[in-house]
Amino acid sequence: MVDGLLEAFAGTAAFWPLLYILVGTVLGILVGALPGLSSPMAIIVLLPITYTMETVSAFQLMIGIYVGTKLGGSYASILLRTPGTPAAACTALDGFPMAEKGRAGEAIGYSVMSSTMGGLFGWVVAVSFVPFIASVALHSEPADIALIGIAGLVLVSAFVRGSMVRGLIGVLLGLLIASVGYDLQDGVERYTFSHPMLASGLPFAAVLVGFFGITVVLSDLEMIGRRSEIAARTSEIRLPSPAAFFRRWRAWSIGTGYGVVVGAIPGVGADGSTFLSYATVRNQSRNPPPEAFGTGVPEGIIAPESSNNATTGGTMIPMLTLGIPGDGSTAVMLGAMILHGLEPGVMLMQNNAPLVYAILVAILVATVMMFFVGWGASRAIIRVLRQERSLLFPFIIVFASIGAFAADNGPFPIYVALACGVAGFFLEKCGFSVVTIVLGAVLGPIIEYNVRLGLAYSNGDWAVFVDTWPRMLLCAVIVLLVSNEIWRATRARPAGTGAGLDKGSETT
């Protein structure tokens, strides 16, 4: 394996391969930064161009795009609070408040550094433990995935600490949103009101840009209505120092760990791992305290961003060794393999080992290039924020609409986004956190599908959720998390004041 990788490194260290990876990475960052354009979309558009290229070159280009979009996605989250992908949504939680405080340079800098570190470490872990990662992907059974999801939900409801009821209501609203559509197991239509567009559920990208982007515009517009001046902000272009980043090793190591392992589980991937790592880092953080998350702390950017890029290694291994796609991009790459005359699946490693190694090397090279491109571009990007804030509103609305439109190539998702934006605006006024809603919507379908599938496997026997050691461990973790929450709540109540109760609801 090491020989194969070294050979692939030697092959990649030439003008054309490096150029392909660089072009892909730059394209990827651009595509990721524009809400509505996604990595699978960019790969599909370029696919016909790659027919005439050598297979290795084609994949170097695609890998560049795949890696680059992971970083690019954070730009729109930080600057516009309009994540183009669910995986970038988490970065908006602390990235946008940080930018609002005029520290966009730091936010972008942390995002670039943690994406790179996450990508590099994720790659090393994934490549060193190929059989383990492949086995996680293949042998993760529905019951395991359901329990991971439930643990995530419990972590989420702690987002609105002090008002767990509001947190839970938010999560339940998210579950409600996610339950719209045609139910695959029983073939029943839920909350579709016989509308054909609702049969496949509410388009998730639209829900996301609605609750984040459009809600923030409405809140700011309201401030204009009250004639309270929106402070003109001078954004600093100061980037963070590497020392400040490495001091926060805990956040990026947790993010990376989640990224590699959870990212390898098909169907959970980066969307789940970013939120899980954010919640974990937040909950166990002493300095800054958990309450500070959501107001613009670097850890809140570092955890999800390192996790997001660490999934590139985690999702690539099952794709290359088993032919199992972990997300949309890897699904498209599997299709591209067929069109390039390869046979993806369990035999790929045997029949096309040089290509597999070249792809793995391309991920590493693209990650390094992403750092330099991202770092170099950050100064230019921050200038966006130096403008009058109200000038950003039309852009947020336009990009949110494009993002929603692209979810389905039609106008329907735009209506969904607008509706979610209005709903999010009023819910935030009532002290709810839109994050809990979005998280409920992300994890809800994963949990529901896997709980039901797990029960179908076991013929309705609930013992399936405790019949292996990892599952017992997960159940114990869930019980511990819940009791920890209850303990904190009872302990906080006598000493706490009314002001303390609502504090957490600002974590949006």
Partner 1 sequence: MRKPLIAVAVAGATVLGAWTAAVAEYPSDTVRIIVPWRAGGGTDTIARGFAAALEEQIDQAVVVDNLTGGNGNRAHMHMKKAKPDGLQILLNGSSDMNSAIIFQNTPYNYDDFACLGAIYRTPTWILAHRDSGITSIDQFFEAARSTPGELTVGVGSLASAHNVLAQALMGVNGIDARVIPFDGGGPLKKAILGNQVSIGVIHSPVLLDAVKSGDVNVIGSGGGLADIVYEPVRDAETIDAHGVGVEIGTVRGLFVPKDTPEELLAAASALMEKAAKSEAFASFGVKFGFKPIWWDRKTHCDFMAEENAAYRKIKADYID
Q: Which residues bind partner 1 (CB under 8 A)?
A: 40, 44, 47-48, 51, 137-139, 141, 182, 184-187, 196-197, 199-200, 203, 266-267, 322-325, 328, 331-335, 338-348, 350, 408-410, 449, 453, 456-457, 459
CA 251/CA 407 separation, integer angstroms: 31
Please report the DSSP string for 160-209 in residue order: GTT-HHHHHHHHHHHHHHHT-EE-TTT--EES-TT-GGGGG-S-HHHHHH
Handedness of CA 383, 389, 390, 394 (dihedral sign): positive
Q: For residues 218 and 342, which CB has a smaller minimum distance to partner 1 in the complex? A: 342
Residue closer to partner 1, measured from CB, 346 or 473: 346
Shorter beta-carbon distance to partner 1: residue 98 or 137: 137
Q: Which of 362, 372, 368, 370 is nearest to 61 (CA)?
A: 362
Task: Please give the Cα distance from 27 to 33 (Å, whole number).
Answer: 10
Smallest distance, Å, CB 367 to partner 1? Answer: 23
Residue 95 CA to residue 92 CA, distance in Å, equals 5
User: By C-beta, is 106 or 448 nearer to partner 1?
Assistant: 448
Q: Cβ 58 to partner 1, closest distance in Å?
A: 13
Residue 409 CB, shortest distance to partner 1, in Å, is 6
Helix (H) or strand (E) holding 212: none
Query: Nearest approach, Cβ of 266 to partner 1 (angstroms)?
Result: 6
User: What is the closest distance, in whole angstroms, from the C-beta atom of residue 343 to partner 1 in the complex?
Assistant: 5
Rounded least distance, CB 31 to partner 1, Å: 15
**Structural contact between residues 326 and 137, judged by C-beta atoms closer than 8 angstroms:** yes
Cα–Cα distance measured from residue 270 to residue 309, given in angstroms and rounded to the nearest whole number: 8
**Closer CB to partner 1, residue 147 or residue 385?**
147
Task: Determine contact, residues 119/126, Cβ cutoff 8 Å.
Answer: no
The full DSSP string for 354-400 is HHHHHHHHHHHHHHHHHHHHHHHHHHHHHGGGGS-GGGHHHHHHHHH
Closer CB to partner 1, 272 or 344, in the complex: 344
Least distance (Å) between residue 168 CB and partner 1: 26
Identify which of residues 93 and 332 has a Cβ nearer to partner 1 in the complex: 332
- Helix 299-322 × helix 130-139 angle, to 10°: 90
